[in-house]
Structure 1
Amino acid sequence: MRIHLLSVFVDDQDKALRFYTDVLGFVKKTEVPLGEDRWLTVVSPEDPDGTQLLLEPDRHPAVKPYTSALAEDGIPVASFAVDDVHAEFARLRERGVLFTQEPLETGPVTTAVLDDTCGNLIQIVHSK
C-alpha cells in the first residue's frame, strides 16, 4: 500500500494552481471539469508518477471551520520534503511567500511553515 493522493482544500482553484505551480514548482498532472469545479492535481516534477496533491474546493460546510482552526493554531495541513529548508526558505521568500515559521532546527529535522494563500499552512522539512 502507498499514498496515491492527498487533498488540500483551497478557496480558489485557479489561484491555488498558480501558487502550487508558478511559486512552489509543482506541475499540473490532472484537470477534469466537474461542474463548477475541477478534479485538479499537481505533482512534483521530480516524481511525475508519484503522490498527487488534489487542489480541492473548500465548499463543504465543515471545511472552513476546520481549515480556519488549523491555521489559527499554526498547524500545517501538509508537509513537503525539500533538500535544504534554508535554501528553499530563501528562494520562496524572494518570490513573496509569507512564512509563519522561519527555519527551525529541532534535533534531526529542520522545518519552516508557509501560507499557501488559499487558506492553508504548509510545512517544508528536511532531515539531516
Structure 2
Amino acid sequence: MLRGFTTITYFADDLTAAREWYAEVLGIQPYFARDVDGVPAYVEFRIGDYQHELGIVNRRFAEPAPREPGGAIAYWAVDDVHAAFERLLALGATVYREPIERGPGFVTASVVDPFGNVLGVMFNQHYLDVLGA
C-alpha cells in the first residue's frame, strides 16, 4: 500500500546553480548534500507542513534523466497561487500553465524551472482542512 510521497526528484545539469535557485525559492538551504569524486551529485530540501523532500540530482549521475519538461507534475501547496507563480517567473522560471481556477477553493499553475523541471503550485482548501484536522 502506498503511504505517501517521500521524495520528489528534479534534475539539473548545473547542480550548484539549481541548489542556489531552489534555496532562494524555498527560503531555506538543503539539509543534505552529496558529492561524487568532488563533484556535486545530489541535494535535498525538506519543505512545508509535512517536511516533504525535494531532491535535485546532477544529470551526470542520473541516467537516464529527462531532458524535456513533461510527464507528471508535482504540485506544492501555497497560500496564493498567483503570487507564487509571479515570484517564480521573477526568479527565472518560464510559464508552463498559467493560474487556472479548477473549482471552488482549488487553483493551480505550473512553471518550468531554469533547469527544465516542471514545478506546480496549488491552492487547495481541502489540503488546509486536512492539515487543520
What is the correspondence of 1:1-128 to structure 2 with a 5 Å cutoff? 1-35=3-37, 36-44=39-47, 46-47=48-49, 50-59=51-60, 60-64=62-66, 67-68=67-68, 71=69, 74-75=70-71, 77-108=73-104, 109-128=106-125
Is the partner of 1:18 in helix, strand or coil?
Answer: helix
| C-alpha displacement of 1:2 | 4.4
With structure 2 as the length reference, what TM-score do the two structures score?
0.73
Partner of 2:131: none
Cα deviation per residue 1:22-74 (whole Å; 9 max; x = unaligned)? 13434311123222233311122x45x8122111122344223xx42xx2xx5
> Do the aligned residues in 1 keep the contact of 2:46 with 2:53 (CA within 8 Å)?
yes
> Do the aligned residues in 2 keep the contact of 1:77 with 1:120 (CA within 8 Å)?
no
Q: Aligned pair in 2 of structure 1 residues 39, 96: CA closer, same or farther (>3 Å)?
A: closer
> Which structure 2 residue ranges, 5 or more long, are not aligned?
126-133
Is the partner of 1:14 in helix, strand or coil?
Answer: helix
Percent of matched pairs sharing the same residue: 28
Name the CA distance, whole Å, in 1 between partners of 2:27 and 2:95. 17
> Do the aligned residues in 1 keep the contact of 2:88 with 2:111 (CA within 8 Å)?
no
Letter in 2 for 1:90: E
Structure 1 stretch displaced more, 31-40 or 116-125: 31-40
With structure 1 as the length reference, what TM-score do the two structures score?
0.75
State the aligned residue count. 120
> Do the aligned residues in 2 keep the contact of 1:85 with 1:124 (CA within 8 Å)?
yes
Structure of greater relative contact order (alpha carbons < 8 Å, 6+ residues apart): 1
Name the CA distance, whole Å, in 1 between partners of 2:108 and 2:32. 29
